[in-house]
Amino acid sequence: MIELALLMPVVLAIVLLIVQIALWFHGRQVAEAAAREGARVARSAPFDSGSWEAEASAKATDIVRAIGPRLLGNATATTSAKDPDQRFVTVRGSAVQVVPLLPELAFTITATSGGPVECFRPDNGGDDCE
């Protein structure tokens, strides 16, 4: 009985830490999937489209809501463009906290995805996208 009373809190803490790590990894997968889908929308929007930021953010937010709204709390999607040919989407949120004594910053998840804008370049030597 004494051994059980001494070992059970340690075993319970280890199990909760394992569950916490699993939830963090799953939340990270949700954030990466949302960022990837938002970046797909951003990269496929035309160059002259001024609404790609809103469309990409909305798509990333919709993915978070569809896959795991409770897995990634306070999720926000932001867009950025390093130059006119590169567009990125960043999803930030916080994972579910099972172990109450761990700091909040340990559960912050950030995922970024992006790449070059997809466009058709004519074969006549022009550099402009159509």
pLDDT tens-place string over residues 79-98: 998 887 889 999 999 988 88
Are 19 and 92 spatial neighbours (Cβ–Cβ below 8 Å)?
no
The answer to pTM > 0.85 is no
Identify the residue whose tokens are 């402009």: 128
Q: How far is CA 101 from the centre of its chain?
A: 25
Q: What is the pLDDT of residue 130?
A: 54
CA distances from 109 to 5, 17, 24, 47 (A): 36, 17, 8, 30
Q: Tell me the pLDDT tens digit for each residue of 52-73.
A: 899 999 999 999 999 877 888 8
Q: Tell me the pLDDT tens digit for each residue of 13-50.
A: 899 889 989 999 999 999 999 999 999 999 888 766 67
